[in-house]
Structures are given as C-alpha cells and as structure tokens.
Amino acid sequence: MTWTSAIILTTITILTMVTWLISEFKTQKKWVRCVLGILAIMFGIGLTVLIFRDLQSFSSALTKFRYNEFYGETSKKLIDTTVEQLEAGKKQKVLNSLKKLQDKFQATYENKANYDKLVGDAVKDMKK
C-alpha cells in the first residue's frame, strides 16, 4: 500500500466513524445510524487488516536484513581467516577446517543452522 492510499483510507475511516458518532446524537432515522455504523466498522476492520499485513511485510523485510547482516559478517570472518592462513602457507590446515565445516553444516530455511558457531569453530581451528 502506498502512503497516499494509506492516508486516503485512514481519512475515510476516521470521517466515517465521526459521522456515525454524530448521527447517533443528531438523527432520528435508525437506518442512517445503522448504515453509518456498519460502514465505520467495515472500514475500521479493513484498515486494521491492511495495517497488520503491511506490518508483517515490514517485519519480514527487517528479519531478512538482519539475517543478511548476520551471514555477511560471519562469512567475512571466514573468508578473511582463510585468505590469511593460506597466505601464511597453512593450506592443509585450512583445507581440513573447511572440510570439517562442510561436514557439520546443514543448510536450512528454518533457522540460522548454528552458522556463526560452526564458522567460529572453523576459524579457531584454522588459527591453531
């Protein structure tokens, strides 16, 4: 939902609710009060659903950003240590550490799969 449509929908919802409230005190026609009440409730529920949906989208995007940051920092440590150790001539130690990491790591969409701990262990193992 764009900001413009959100502002328009919020304004319509508020105006409908205020009109309903005013009609409760100013009009004797029951059908007018009922129609305005039903409209106000429907707009209120609709606005709530749209806001909730957008908040879920925002939360999902924020979680993806945090995961990207998490994996980026951890991967950078692994890459930096790998290059550092290879330049120091510790090819076999690096290879053994990466093979251990390869055996232990299980890619999953459900959680972070202990990626930081596994990479941390691999980095420590390389630096021994």
pLDDT tens across 115-124, in order?
A: 888 888 999 9
Give the residue-averaged pLDDT of 76-82.
92
Give the residue-averaged pLDDT of 33-57.
86
Backbone angles phi, psi at 84, to 5 degrees: -60, -45
pTM: 0.48
Q: Which residue in 97, 57, 62 sits closest to 77, CA to CA? A: 97
**Cα–Cα distance between 41 and 35 in angstroms, integer?**
10
**Cα–Cα distance between 14 and 117 in angstroms, integer?**
51
Domain ranges of the chain: 3-127
| Helix residue spans in the chain (DSSP H) | 3-26, 30-87, 91-104, 115-127
The pLDDT, as a whole number, for residue 4 is 81
Residues in the chain: 128
